[in-house]
Amino acid sequence: MNESDFKNDPHPVLDGIADPIIVIDRDFNLTYANKTVRGRTAGASPTGQKCYEVLHGRNHPCDPCPCLQTFETNKPYRVIRKTESTEGGSPLLKEFRSYPILDQEGKVIRTIEVIQELSPAEAPPSEENTPARKRKASPADERSFCGMIGGSKKIRALFQMIRLIAPSNATILIYGESGTGKELVAKAIHQSSPRRDRPFIAIDCGALPETLLESELFGHVKGAFTGAIQNKKGLFEEAEGGTLFLDEIADTSLAFQSKLLRVLQEGEARPVGGNRSIKVNVRVVAATNKPLKEAIARKNFREDLYYRLAVMPIVIPPLRERPDDIPLLAEHFIEKYALPNGRGPMHLSGEALSLLMKFHWHGNVRELENVIERGVLVSPGLEILPESFLIDEEIPPPSSPSIPLSISRDEAVLKVEKEQIIDAIKRHKGNKSLAARSLGIARASLYNKLKRYQIESLG
C-alpha cells in the first residue's frame, strides 16, 4: 500500500468494521480514520489531528504506544491496556495492534492501528499495563503466529495479510501445495477475527462422496435417504457465527458446487430432503492445491463459484521458497518430539542442517516434520546426524515460478469492498439508497463503484 492510499480513499470496507481503525504518521497525526473513529468527532474530520487527542483525550502520546514501537522496529506490535472501569467496577481491557505500512525501500512511513475491546479472560495477565520497553518479546514470539513458525520475508508477509483481512467477513480462498499448512492458515484467520469465540469446523471435501458431503454440510431430514433415521444438523448450522473451512474444494462435483454457490449467495442452507432453507451466518474459508483457473477451463469447476470464493485469495509459499525458515521449523519440531519420546535437549549437527537446507521438500513443512521426528527417534545421541534422517541426499530440481504470495494490500481492500457492497445491496433488497447509507457513502459513489466492479442488479 502506498503513502497516499489512506489519504485519498475513504475505503468503505474499513468503515464497515466496528472496531476503531486509524492510520498515523511519525508525528502521531491521523492520515485516515474509519467511520467508528469519525463518529467521535461530531462530524469534523479528524485528519491531521493527533491520535492520542482524538482517541484518548490526552495531550501527550500513550505509554506504551504500539505505533511508536512499530516505527522503531519495523514490526507489528500489540499492547493490552486497562482504559477505564465498567459500571460494575470490572476493568475494561482494550487491545491495541499496530502494523507497518512500508515504502518501496522497506521503510515504515505510516502505521495502521486497530483497537478491540477484550474481556478480562482474553488478556494475558503478564501483558496488562506493562510498558512495551520493559516487556521484551522472546525471539520465538516474533517468529510464530497462531501456531505457524517462520521469520522469512514471505512468511511474515503472509502473517501480515492474515491480520489485515481477518476482521472482515470476506470469503477467502487459500492456495498451497500439499503440506504447506492450509488449515493452519485458516485457523489463524479465524483466531484473528471477531468470530474467534465461535466454532471453527474443518472438512476435507475430497474425502467424502457427493451425497455424504451434502449431508455433512447442509444436514438432512428424517427419511431423506436410506439410513436417515432422524434429522441431522449440517456443518453450516453447527458452525453458526464461526468459520467453516472447506479443504480440497477443487475435488467437488459441479452439482455440489452449484448448491454451495447458492448457500454463499443467499446465506441459506437447505437440508437434504428438506423443503425449507435455514439461515446461516458462517464465514467460509476454502482451500486447494490445484490451479482452479485450469479446472474452470476444463469445465471441472464453476467460474461463478470461483469468483465468489476468491474474494480474498491467499497463496502459501512452499518451503523451498523460504529456506530461511527451515532452521526455525527444525528446532520447533525437535522440541515437539524429543521430550515426549524420552530424549534430552537435542540439536542438529552442522552437516544435518546443511542437508535439510538443500533438500527439495516436495512435501513441504509436513515432510520436514516427519523427517525431524524420524531423526529424533533414530539418533543414538543428542546430536542429530544426517544419517538419522534416512533420506537420500538429492540435488533439488530447478525451482519453478510460483504464484505471487499475495495481491497488493490495496487490491485486497478493493476485493473486500466489493463484497461489502454486494452484501449491503442484498441486505436492503436492492434498495441502493439504503445500501449507500449503510456503507457510509453517497448514492452517486455507490453507482460509480457498481460500474467499476461490474456488479449487476441484485436484490
The grid coordinates of residue 440 equal 457510509
With 0-12 / 13-18 / 19 or more C-beta atoms within 10 angstroms meaning exposed / middle / buried, residue 55 is: buried
Q: Name the nearest CA neighbour of 422 among 393, 452, 456.
A: 456
pLDDT in tens, 167-179: 888 899 999 999 9
**Average pLDDT for the chain:** 81
pLDDT in tens, 40-65: 776 678 888 888 888 888 777 777 78
What does the pLDDT read at residue 3?
Answer: 46
Name the CATH superfamily, with its identifier, for domain 144-315.
P-loop containing nucleotide triphosphate hydrolases (3.40.50.300)
Strand partners, 279: 268
90: left (phi over 0), alpha (psi -120 to 50) or beta: beta
First to last CA, the chain: 33
pLDDT in tens, 204-226: 998 888 888 988 899 888 776 77
Name the CATH superfamily, with its identifier, for domain 409-453.
Homeodomain-like (1.10.10.60)
CATH architecture of 10-118: 2-Layer Sandwich (3.30)
Better-scored residue on pLDDT, 140 or 451: 451
Neighbours of 27 (CB within 10 A): 7
Strand partners, 101: 110
The grid coordinates of residue 186 equal 485458516
Segment (H or E) for 313: strand 312-315
pLDDT in tens, 434-449: 877 777 677 777 887 8
What does the pLDDT read at residue 458?
Answer: 64
Q: Name the nearest CA neighbour of 183 among 159, 160, 206, 200.
A: 200
- Binned at pLDDT 50, 70 and 90, residue 184 comes out as very high
- Identical fold for domains 319-388 and 409-453, yes or no, is no
- Binned at pLDDT 50, 70 and 90, residue 253 comes out as very high
CA distances from 253 to 79, 174, 259, 421, 426 (A): 46, 19, 10, 29, 27
pLDDT in tens, 81-117: 766 554 555 556 788 888 888 776 677 888 888 888 7
Q: Which CATH class is domain 319-388?
A: mainly alpha
Residues 127-148 have a mean pLDDT of 52
Kindly list the domain boundaries of the chain, sorted by start residue: 10-118, 144-315, 319-388, 409-453
